[in-house]
Amino acid sequence: MKNGKRYASSTDVARLAGVSQSAVSRAYKKGGYVSPEMRSRIMAAAAELEYRPSLIPRIMLTERSNLIAVVVGGLYNPLYAGIIDTLSVRLEDAGLQTLLVHAESGHMLDIALPRLASYRVDAIVSPLAVMSAATAEALDRLGLPVVSFNTPVRGGLISTISTDGLAAGRDIAALFARRGARRPGFVQGPKGSPASDDRERGYRRALRGLGLGAPRTAPGDFRYEGGVAAAHALLGGRDACDAIFCANDLLALGVMDTARRQFGLRVPEDLMVAGFDDIDMASWSSYGLTSFVQDVDLMARHAVHLLTQALETPGRTGEHVVIPATLVERASTGGGDAGGDGGRDRGVRCDD
């Protein structure tokens, strides 16, 4: 389309090539027959007009768009940029196209779902969670497969992929205990976040078993600023925490900066800090943050596999996949170098 003109149509191509419109349709239809000479004329005319076949007729005939809605929110979190990029590549490899949809909520998919059916998407994949049974039931009625990360709702057409937050909480509690922690703390994600709740639950149970008691907690929202506020709550007074596990890395970075600049604490000598996600900033030499890897590539591969299975078998019941969280220990807990990958192992891989 040049100089504000409309897109070329199949009728325009037919007129320029001197053929019927149905011949143009057959030339672009898989299995459709036109003579080699006619096909050559049609393709030459299409190239001159910069014609591209519309997907709308195919959608009407097959009731399939090959469009997959990738719904994201909380784009302040670097983790989501990696998820979007990796999912888009994996979907394209599977012959599917990405429709990026922004959700106002940074951790709930429910808000975006009502308008998605009107986009004629074939399925939905999202790092956000489906929180309500009512939303899940609505999706079942629409017959719309969903792959969601860290979703507490089970059953129906919803498949879920979760990083093992319970095990991660247990592992970091054990590490803190080995390093001599006595006053543990936890910085939470947004209220009701399944991912944050799992990480806290595993941490809390393990601390109890290790004889360290319940951690002090402070609310956060997965943002750096939430970590700053939480640090003031957990580091003030005589019972200040000496080890803090944060529900994600952005919170942990806020805690570390505030501990050093506002409270004059040394990390890890006075305060150990660990996060979750292993974003790039975690390995910066100014932080050297101990964290847990969320294997984005593995999650994307599982997501696309589950989606393609659901599309090939309508009505297929959703599945639940749990992926291990890999601990990367760095200087913020007294191990590894100040920066670098800390001997990073990007986690379990699966074959394509």
Q: Which residues neighbour 143 within 8 Å (Cβ) at sequence distance 6 or greater?
A: 157, 314, 315
Residue 128 and residue 49 share a domain = no
Instruction: Answer yes or no: is 95 within a domain.
Output: yes
Residue 272 and residue 176 share a domain = yes
Q: How far apart are CA 92 and CA 68, in angstroms?
A: 10
Query: Into how many domains does the chain fold?
Result: 3
Instruction: Answer yes or no: is 342 within a domain.
Output: no
Mean pLDDT of the residues in the chain: 85
Residue 121 and residue 237 share a domain = no
Kindly tell me if the per-residue pLDDT of 71 is higher than 50: yes
Residue 206 and residue 312 share a domain = no
Residue 265 and residue 226 share a domain = yes
Counting every residue, how long is the chain? Answer: 352
Q: Which residues neighbour 346 within 8 Å (Cβ) at sequence distance 6 or greater?
A: 293, 295, 297, 326
For residues 112-116, give the mean pLDDT: 71
Please tell me the predicted confidence (pLDDT) of residue 140.
78
Residue 311 and residue 216 share a domain = no
Find how far residue 28's CA is from the centre of its chain: 36
Are 161 and 305 in contact by the 8 Å Cβ rule? The answer is no
* Confidence label for 350 from pLDDT (cuts 50, 70 and 90): very low
Residue 134 and residue 68 share a domain = yes
CA distance to 93, 122, 205, 215, 344, per residue, from 198 (Å): 33, 31, 11, 15, 23
Kindly tell me if the per-residue pLDDT of 145 is higher than 80: yes
Last residue of a domain, one of 293, 309, 332: 293
Structure letter (DSSP) for residue 295 = -
Residue 69 and residue 139 share a domain = yes
Residue found by looking up tokens 């957990």 in the block:
234
Beta partners for residue 320, in sequence order: 160
Kindly tell me if the per-residue pLDDT of 346 is higher than 50: no
Lowest mean pLDDT among 93-97, 147-151, 241-245: 147-151
* DSSP result, 198-248: HHHHHHHHHHHHTT--PPEEE---SSHHHHHHHHHHHHSSTT--SEEEESS
The phi-psi region of residue 237 (left if phi > 0; otherwise alpha if psi is between -120 and 50; otherwise beta) is left
Which carries the bigger pLDDT value, residue 335 or residue 240?
A: 240
Question: What's the CATH code of the domain at 280?
Answer: 3.40.50.2300
Kindly tell me if the per-residue pLDDT of 334 is higher than 80: yes
Instruction: Answer yes or no: is 3 within a domain.
Output: no
Please tell me the predicted confidence (pLDDT) of residue 63.
55
Render pLDDT for 268-320 as a digit per residue (tens, 0 to 9): 999 999 999 999 999 999 999 999 999 999 999 999 999 999 888 887 788 89
Instruction: Answer yes or no: is 92 within a domain.
Output: yes
Q: How far apart are CA 169 and CA 7, in angstroms?
A: 55
Which carries the bigger pLDDT value, residue 260 or residue 71?
A: 260
Are 216 and 71 in contact by the 8 Å Cβ rule? The answer is no
Which carries the bigger pLDDT value, residue 97 or residue 120?
A: 97
Give the percent of the chain with pLDDT over 70: 87
Residue 276 and residue 183 share a domain = yes
Residue 305 and residue 159 share a domain = yes
Instruction: Answer yes or no: is 331 within a domain.
Output: no
Please tell me the predicted confidence (pLDDT) of residue 345.
39
Q: Which residues neighbour 19 within 8 Å (Cβ) at sequence distance 6 or greater?
A: 34, 38, 41, 42
Q: How far apart are CA 57 and CA 78, in angstroms?
A: 38
Instruction: Answer yes or no: is 349 within a domain.
Output: no
Q: Give the residue among 170, 155, 164 at the shortest CA–CA distance from 207.
A: 170
Instruction: Answer yes or no: is 343 within a domain.
Output: no
Residue 242 and residue 209 share a domain = yes
* pTM for the predicted model, two decimal places: 0.79
Please tell me the predicted confidence (pLDDT) of residue 64.
62
Kindly tell me if the per-residue pLDDT of 183 is higher than 90: yes
Render pLDDT for 160-172 as a digit per residue (tens, 0 to 9): 999 999 999 999 9
The whole domain housing 29 covers 10-53
For residues 176-183, give the mean pLDDT: 97
Which carries the bigger pLDDT value, residue 156 or residue 181?
A: 181
Beta partners for residue 274, in sequence order: 245, 290
For residues 186-192, give the mean pLDDT: 93
Please tell me the predicted confidence (pLDDT) of residue 82.
87
Beta partners for residue 123, in sequence order: 68
Instruction: Answer yes or no: is 350 within a domain.
Output: no
Render pLDDT for 52-69 as a digit per residue (tens, 0 to 9): 776 655 554 445 678 898
Residue 287 and residue 184 share a domain = yes
Render pLDDT for 122-132 as a digit per residue (tens, 0 to 9): 888 988 887 77
* Confidence label for 5 from pLDDT (cuts 50, 70 and 90): low
For residues 33-39, give the mean pLDDT: 89
3-state secondary structure 28-42: HCCCCCCCHHHHHHH
- Residue 76 token pair: 């302040």
